[in-house]
Structure 1
Amino acid sequence: MKFIIQRDKLVQSVQDVLKAVSSRTTIPILTGIKIVATEEGVTLTGSDSDISIESFIPCEEDGSENVEVKTAGSVVLQARFFSEIIKKLPMDTVEIEVQNQYVTTIRSGKSEFNLNGQDAAEYPHLPQVEEQNVFRVPTDLLKNIIRQTVFAVSTSETRPILTGVNWKLENHELICIATDSHRLALRKAKVEAENNITCNVVIPGKSLNELNKILDDTNELLDIVVTENQVLFKAKNILFFSRLLDGNYPDTSRLIPAESKTDITVTTKEFLQAIDRASLLAREGRNNVVKLATLESDTLEVSSNSPEVGKVVEQIQSNSIDGEELKISFSAKYMMDALKALEGNEILINFTGAMRPFVIKTLHDDSMLQLILPVRTY
């Protein structure tokens, strides 16, 4: 195998597939990146058997030449060394040539490296995905959906199913839900689906985080293919496979209260900054608890008390308070995460009492909601 390639294109592709490569793997060859050159272009693959990423660099794109393939072929190179070498090469083009015993020469300008490679035939095959259940989402919308839900997945392995985001598709509507049993994030979106397909799967939060780092902010449609145990995201020149989590996701619809006793609307930014300030003194040990109380004339009091450190009290003007008066305590971190995920200048918070979960929504937008369980403080 021998080809000459634009260095910046190669660096970008290597960075993308590296996100799937793990140094802690039971299959030694998976610490490498598989490189395949054909007359169409060069394909790089990285995998840790949970996530697999394939990046394709076409020989020609938009009238400019990326790759000149002299001889087709394939090799697997150690990801860590290969990525560091490529980043530090002196010139804009790189020549890669594989000789006997998979020894690979990497040349750029006056710099030359020899890396010991491995036989690409030993590299595990990517999952074969039959493209029956396909739906399409604009890339920037998908990035938003991930950003607005994935932070709420559980980081504890005691209930593995909660470390993923539940994706349900029916009637051309995608509903994504994440919960760690102390809070919940929900986002709905209309999508293009063929033959009115339905699906109900749980995608690992880790996979979605990695996918989000790779995707560009474009409104180009991205194909999503779901099978029994895999999901495939197909963007331009990138394939991203992830395994799905086994098991049934809990029914979260019962968690979301239907009625409320106190409704507060408030300016998002002002409220977020007040919570942020109050959390400065909140004791880490008590999960960063902040108190919220309603006062006369639509005023809210945000406070935090830490006996060793001190206390903070701040009043902010809400836009409206309807219903019963309220005193409630909650995790400042959960509230700030939720507020950052919502879009819009104004939010509506529906409370159903001091010990019941409360719902935070953007005003006049039903496509997303955040739910938080309060904290008992005595």
Structure 2
Amino acid sequence: MQFEIMRDRLLDGLSDVIKAISHKVTTPILTGIKLEATEKGLTMTGSDSDITISTFIPLEEDGTQIIRMIQPGTLVLQAKVFNEIIRKLPTNEVMIELRDGMKTHIRSGQSEFHIIAQSADEYPILPDVKDAERFELPADLMKSIIRETVFAVSQQETRPVLTGVQWTMKEDELYCIATDSHRLARRIITPEVQASIPFNAVIPGKSLQELSKILPDHSNPVEIFIANQQVLFKLHNVLFYSRLLEGNYPDTSRLIPNEYKTSITVNGRNLLQAIDRASLLAREDRNNIVHFSTDGSSHIQISSNSPDVGNVEELVEAVQIEGEPLKISFSAKYMMDALKAIDGQDLMIHFTGSMRPFILKSIDSEAILQLILPVRTF
């Protein structure tokens, strides 16, 4: 195996693939990156058995030669070492050569490294998604979906299925739902390219967070393939595989109230900033609780207190308040996460009582919904 490659393009591919590498794997070969050089280009693959990322670098692109292929071949190199070497090489031309068994030579300018490779025979093959359901979403929309939902997954492994985001396709709409039993985030999308049949899959939150780091900010389409145990996200020259979580996701539709006793329209950014300030004292308390109340005026009162530190009160002007006066308490963190997901727009908050779940929606769209369970303090 021998080829010469442009260092900047090699680094671009490595930055994607190395996101799948974990040092906690039980299989030693998975601490490495697989390099497969062919007459078409270079494929690099990284995996921790839950996530697999594969990226392809062609021989040339837009008339510019990227790789000069001398002899095809396959090997596995220690991910951390290989990445650090390539990052610190002195020139943009890199020669990689395998010779004398598993000895790999990496040359750039006057710098030359000799490292031991592993055989690629032990490296797992890419997951099979032949019989998968396929649909498409724009990359920038995918990033928004992840940002608006993944923060609400459970951080506890006691119910593994809740550490993922449920993706369900029904009646031409994709429902993306995350909950940790104390809050819920939901996003509804109508994909332009639909799956042929309905499906229900739970994608690990950690996988979606890593995917978001790879997705570009433009609207190029991402192909999504949902199989029995795997999901594949396919974008330009990158394949991102993730296992799916097993188990029955709870029916969250019955948690969302349909009738409200109090409805408030308010600017999301103003409310977020007020709760952020109130949380400065609430953080001293283990539960980080903020109090929220209305008294018949056009203002919302935000307050918090810590016996050892002090208290804070602030009035936030509402656009509109309808219904009964209200006193309710909730986690400042949960509320701020929900407000950030709605992204500073004017929003409506619907309450059904001081101890019942309440929901947040943008006034412009029903697509994003956030639900939070209150905390008993009054």
TM-score range, shorter chain: over 0.9
State the match for 2:359 in structure 1. Answer: 359
Query: 2:282 — aligned with what?
Result: 282
**Is 1:264–1:322's contact at 8 Å kept on the other side of the alignment?**
yes
Alignment of 1:173-188 (within 5 A): 173-188=173-188
Q: Which aligned pairs between 1:313-332 and structure 2 lie closer than 5 A?
A: 313-332=313-332
Residue in 2 that maps onto 1:368: 368
| 1:68 CA drift (Å) | 1.1
Measured against aligned partners, the alpha-carbon deviations of 1:112-140 in whole angstroms (never above 9, x if no partner) come to 00110011111111111115410000111
Structure 1 segments unaligned to the other structure (5+ residues): none
CA distance in 2, matches of 1:99, 1:131: 40
Could you say what secondary structure the match of 1:211 adopts? helix
SS at match of 1:280: helix
Cα distance in 1 for partners of 2:151, 2:117 equals: 38
In 1, the alpha carbon distance for the partners of 2:172 and 2:139 equals: 17
Instruction: Give secondary structure in 2 for the equivalent of 1:202.
Output: strand
Q: Does the CA contact (< 8 Å) of 2:20 and 2:47 recur in 1?
A: yes
Q: Is the 8 Å Cα contact of residues 106 and 113 (structure 1) preserved in structure 2?
A: yes
Alignment of 1:120 with 2:120, yes or no, is: yes
Matched-pair contact (CA < 8 Å) for 1:172–1:193: no
Q: What is aligned with 2:211? A: 211
Over aligned residue pairs, what C-alpha RMSD do you find? 1.1
8 Å CA contact retained: 2:4, 2:68? yes
The 3 A distance-change label for structure 1 pair 293 and 211 is: same
Instruction: State the AA in 2 paired with 1:196.
Output: S
Matched, 1:46 2:42: no
* Cα contact 2:261–2:353 (8 A) shared by 1: yes
| TM-superposed deviation, 1:103 | 0.8
- Please name the residue that 2:59 is paired with: 59
Shift of 1:300: 0.7
Relative distance call for 1:194 and 1:290 in structure 2 (3 A) is closer
Q: State the match for 1:199 in structure 2.
A: 199
CA drift at 1:286: 3.3
Does residue 1:161 correspond to 2:161, yes or no?
yes
What's the TM-score, normalizing by structure 2?
0.98
1:347 corresponds to 2:332: no
Pairs aligned (count)? 378
1:310 is aligned with what amino acid?
Answer: G
Distance 2:165 2:195 in 1: 24
Matched, 1:74 2:74: yes
Q: Deviations over 1:75-96 (max 9, x none)?
A: 1000010001110111011110
Question: How far is the alpha carbon of 1:63 from its aligned partner?
Answer: 1.9
- Cα distance in 2 for residues equivalent to 1:181 and 1:193: 32
Correspondence list, 1:301-316, <5 A: 301-316=301-316
Deviates more, 1:37-46 or 1:187-196: 187-196
Q: Distance in 2 between matches of 1:132 and 1:13?
A: 26
Letter in 2 for 1:226: I
- Partner Cα separation in structure 2 for residue 158 and residue 22 of structure 1: 22
Secondary structure at 1:260 match in 2: coil
Alignment correspondent of 2:222: 222
Q: In 1, Cα distance between the equivalents of 2:196 and 2:119?
A: 43
Conservation of the 8 A alpha-carbon contact between 1:103 and 1:115: yes
Q: What code does the residue aligned with 2:209 have?
A: N
CA contact (8 A) 2:31 2:79 kept: yes
The residue that corresponds to 2:261 in the other structure is 261
Structure 1 segments of 4+ aligned residues over 4 angstroms from their partners? none
Per the TM alignment, residue 195 of structure 1 is displaced from its structure 2 partner at its CA by 6.0
State, as a whole percentage, how many aligned pairs show the same letter.
58
CA distance in 2, matches of 1:191, 1:317: 38
Q: Quick one: which amino acid aligns to residue 3 of structure 2? A: F
- 8 Å Cα contact 2:166-2:177 kept in structure 1: yes
Alpha-carbon separation, structure 2, partners of 1:27 and 1:21: 12
Shift of 1:172: 2.4
Deviations 1:12-45, CA, capped at 9 Å, x for gaps: 1111111111111111100000000011110000
| Deviates further, 325-334 or 65-74 | 65-74
Partner of 2:292: 292
**Amino acid aligned to 2:202:** V
SS in 2 for 1:210: helix
- TM-score for both structures, normalised by structure 1: 0.98
Distance 1:147 1:128, change over 3 A: same
In 2, the alpha carbon distance for the partners of 1:194 and 1:375 equals: 40
**How far did 1:73 drift?**
0.4
**Displacement of 1:194 after TM fit?**
4.8
Specify every segment of 5 or more residues in structure 2 that has no aligned partner in the other structure, as ranges.
none
| CA distance in structure 2 between the aligned counterparts of 1:256 and 1:107, rounded to whole angstroms | 60
Match of 1:190 in 2: 190
| Cα deviations by residue, 1:94-116 (Å, 9 ceiling, x for unpaired) | 11011122111111110000110
* CA gap 1:29/1:73 in 2 versus in 1, 3 angstroms: same
Distance 2:344 2:288 in 1: 25
Deviation sequence 1:319-368 (CA, Å, 0-9, x none):
01000000000000000000001145201000000000000011020001
The 1-side partners of 2:48 and 2:165 are apart by: 20
